[in-house]
A and B are shown apart, each in its own frame.
Chain A
Amino acid sequence: EPEVTQTPSHQVTQMGQEVILRCVPISNHLYFYWYRQILGQKVEFLVSFYNNEISEKSEIFDDQFSVERPDGSNFTLKIRSTKLEDSAMYFCATTPIRVPEGEQFFGPGTRLTVL
């Protein structure tokens, strides 16, 4: 069964360093999302992406964050200069059709720890 994959599973970085989190969507899915979950808090929406453009972003998604699809497969989330408060689990989700009742397919997440 097709699944969304994410790499790395764990990333430890120093404050101020850049990190890139990678997601490989299911092959026929065109709509992508990033969410994050800070320990003990809700899963929060960060950004949605379609056709090489950001479709919607949250207040969390400031200038330190960027997303791109550098090739036909990977979908990446970059944090330019990490802060302690960026420590969280980051989930990628994809869907073949964007409707309110539509299922999003999630990857296993990347746990980011900023020291």
Chain B
Amino acid sequence: AQSVTQLGSHVSVSEGALVLLRCNYSSSVPPYLFWYVQYPNQGLQLLLKYTSAATLVKGINGFEAEFKKSETSFHLTKPSAHMSDAAEYFCAVSATSGTYKYIFGTGTRLKVLA
């Protein structure tokens, strides 16, 4: 069965500092992986996705993630945090059969300190 683990339910960084949000997956087949962001009172918005075309994936708002098969990881990074990045971030893998439902991690709430 597929699963996703997000280490750190809360992460705080200073404005301008590197953002690193961790996601590890478990899958017996090549996975399709997603990062979503949820701002207050809004729906989950796709940041980026991995579909095997390239291991380094660039997304919106300056975020990127690198797929590392050897480490079963898909960590999300941004070189310089902005106050507007404060939100909850979800990593997910799509099921490889059925209706391709998403299997989510527990989410990481990012706080950006001035």
Contacts and interface: CB of A to CB of B under 8 A. Distances in A.
Contacts, number: 68
Chain B: number of interface residues, binned into ranges: 20 to 34
A101 B32 contact: yes
Interface in A50-105: 50, 55-56, 91, 93, 98-105
B100 A99 contact: yes
Contact of A4 (B43, B98, B99): B43
A33 B44 CA distance: 13
Interface of A: 3-4, 6, 9, 31, 33, 35, 37, 40-45, 48, 50, 55-56, 91, 93, 98-109
Contacts of A33: 99, 101-102
Given A43-B102, A109-B43, 16 more contacts: A31-B99, A33-B101, A40-B106, A41-B106, A42-B105, A43-B90, A43-B92, A100-B94, A100-B95, A100-B96, A101-B32, A103-B46, A106-B36, A106-B44, A106-B45, A108-B43
A55 B99 contact: yes
A108 B42 CA distance: 4
A103 B49 contact: yes
B104 A43 contact: yes
Contact of B43 (A31, A42, A99, A105): A105
Contacts of A105: 43
A102 B102 contact: no
B51 interface: yes
A104 B102 CA distance: 9
B41 A9 contact: yes
A54 to B, nearest CB: 10
Contacts of B94: 100-102
Contact of B104 (A3, A4, A31, A42): A42
B13 interface: no
Contacts of A104: 102
Contacts of A43: 90, 92, 102, 104, 107
A42 B101 contact: no
Nearest to B103: A45
